[in-house]
Amino acid sequence: MTNHFSTQAVHAGEERRKPYGALTTPIVQTSTYTFRNTAEILDFMHRHAAGDPNLRDEYGRYSNPTQSAAERKIAALEGREKALLFASGMGAITTTLFALLSSGDHMVLVNDVYRRTREFARRYLPRWGVEITLVPIDDPDALTAAIRPTTRLIFSESPTNPYLRVMDLAQMVEIANQNNVTTAIDSTFATPLNLSPLEYGVDLVLHSATKYLGGHNDLLAGAVVGADEILEEIEEARGVLGGVSNPNEAYLLLRGMKTLDLRVRRQNENGQCVAQFLEKHPAVRRVYYPGLPSHPDHEIARGQMMGFGGVVSFEIDGDMEETGHFIDRLRLPYVGPTLGGVESVVEQPSALFSLERQERLEAGLKDNLVRYALGIEDADDIIADLDQALAGRAA
């Protein structure tokens, strides 16, 4: 079978001949799996001890056939044999960090990562004796200087949220390999279509599958992809901590991933068109989009990414209140804190972060910043809507 991404998105990970002759992978709605007798249990335990990769299912917290199909598809899209599915993107991140870090360890974290990732690292990990150092995404000297003998992990996003900064993956991996440090990238904004971090030698790739992989704003899920020896530790932690997905979510994720190639290509096109329109508009102060030459990481993005994604962040010529009024004048997007779905969604990040201006500024969130997560609507309609909302602000 061909290895083209679009074909993989439709067929990879799923059995050709499914139960009952069904076309789609069925939802296996069960929490436990029975054994015919004690001999079958003992055979299962012996095969488990031997590390049999074709082991049957035992209990829903460890595996499920629908979940396993979704994991195989994600793994195929990232070019690996195995992936792990979680109940949410944060479940994937926190379980991974718990599995890889111990008391006395140190982690380097890029300072522009998702705020909840940063919060978990700074607020909770120190309780277990893990130290954290924050570094800028574009300063390899700071990254090198931050590494200690106890450093176990470098964690970044690419692109980041909400300013869409892009990590130089080859440079990060080179620094990590020189110091025998594991690397992890949250690639939610990029998707497997636009970026392949594992090809650069990154050890782990994480996704909030709630976003582009699901694509329809109707599920919560997270995923981790990487080498088997690292995933074994994370899988064991998942079974203990219990942050597993369920067969219904896995089914929705399987369905969503079949159109991933089509959706993301349209969102890439919309992102580029909208970013170029906004950059020329007199009511817009600045646009953050890796596909623009004005973006600080444009050259890195051009070298690493197939497309630049469906999220455009920008600053309008106004304050907190005026920015809110601009968002309220938009007629096409929904207002909310998500991205990656077929419907466009817009938010004012500072409004959802804190009511205290100083806290917003300390987090790097300007009051006039807008994050527009583009759906698959026609770009001309999106631009016309933006134009009328910006004109209303100017009037």
Contact 210, 219 (CB under 8 A): yes
Distance CA 162, CA 149 (A): 32
Strand order across the 131-135 sheet = 83-86, 222-226, 204-208, 182-186, 151-157, 106-110, 131-135
Phi, psi angle pair for 221, to nearest 5°: -165, 155
**Angle subtended at Cα 291 by Cα 215 and Cα 363, rounded to the nearest 5 degrees:** 75
Query: Annotated catalytic residue: which of 114, 163, 212, 251?
Result: 114
> Can you state the angle between helices 228-241 and 89-100, rounded to 10 degrees?
110
Check if 228 is active-site: no
SS3 category, 100 = helix
Query: Annotated catalytic residue: which of 152, 211, 266, 371?
Result: 211
SS3 category, 159 = coil
Rounded CA Rg of the chain: 22
Could you tell me which residues are beta bridge partners of residue 287? 314
Contact 247, 71 (CB under 8 A): no
Task: Read off the DSSP letter of residue 121.
Answer: I
Check if 211 is active-site: yes
Check if 258 is active-site: no
Query: Annotated catalytic residue: which of 168, 186, 203, 367?
Result: 186
Return left, alpha or beta for 191; rule: phi > 0 is left, psi -120 to 50 is alpha, else beta.
left
In 3D space, the residue among 165, 229, 173 whose CA is nearest the CA of residue 197 turns out to be: 173
CB half-sphere exposure, 385, CA atoms < 13 A: 20
Query: Annotated catalytic residue: which of 18, 56, 61, 286?
Result: 61
Amino acid at 259: T
Query: Which tokens is 113 given?
Result: 């990562």
Please give the C-alpha separations between residue 60 and each of 39, 63, 152, 240, 284, in angstroms, as whole numbers: 21, 5, 31, 12, 50
Check if 319 is active-site: no
Residues tagged active-site: 61, 114, 186, 211
